[in-house]
């Protein structure tokens, strides 16, 4: 059975693929998503990797997920559907 955390991790995986395919670098994506601060780049890196003190990736809020979709020119429901389909395919 998949969990909310499974969905969240798959969402980050899909977003990461889309960033790469778009030709945008991760720094630009982070700043467009979280704002023009040095912390935005660190936040995005922590979402993709387990760099936090706990050894777990930083969690993602719905608002952040919506903004990521917007930055990539997609809708939030469209991305959620893509993630759901990928999770189902992993059974």
The whole-number pLDDT of residue 41 equals: 92
> Nearest-CA neighbor of 14 among 72, 63, 61?
72
Predicted local distance difference test score (pLDDT) of residue 52: 63
Question: 84-90: which pairs have CB atoms within 8 A and are 24 or more residues apart?
Answer: 84/7, 86/10, 86/14, 87/2, 87/6, 87/7, 87/10
- φ/ψ region of 24 (left if φ > 0, alpha if ψ in -120 to 50, else beta) reads beta
pLDDT tens digits for 23-58? Answer: 999 999 999 999 998 799 989 998 998 666 677 778
Residue range 1-17, pLDDT digits in tens = 778 888 999 999 999 99
Domains identified in the chain, total number: 1
- Phi/psi region, residue 53 (left: phi>0; alpha: psi -120 to 50; beta: rest), is alpha
Q: What CATH number did the domain enclosing 81 receive?
A: 1.10.260
Domain containing 62 equals 4-89
């Amino acid at each position: 059975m998949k969990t909310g955390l499974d969905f969240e991790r798959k969402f980050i995986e899909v977003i990461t693929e889309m960033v790469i395919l778009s030709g945008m670098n991760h720094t630009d994506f982070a700043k467009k998503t979280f704002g023009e601060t040095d912390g935005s780049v660190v936040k995005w890196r922590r979402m993709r990797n387990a760099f936090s003190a706990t050894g777990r990736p930083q969690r993602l809020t719905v608002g952040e997920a919506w903004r990521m979709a917007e930055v990539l020119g997609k809708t939030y429901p469209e991305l959620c559907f893509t993630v759901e389909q990928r999770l189902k395919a992993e059974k």
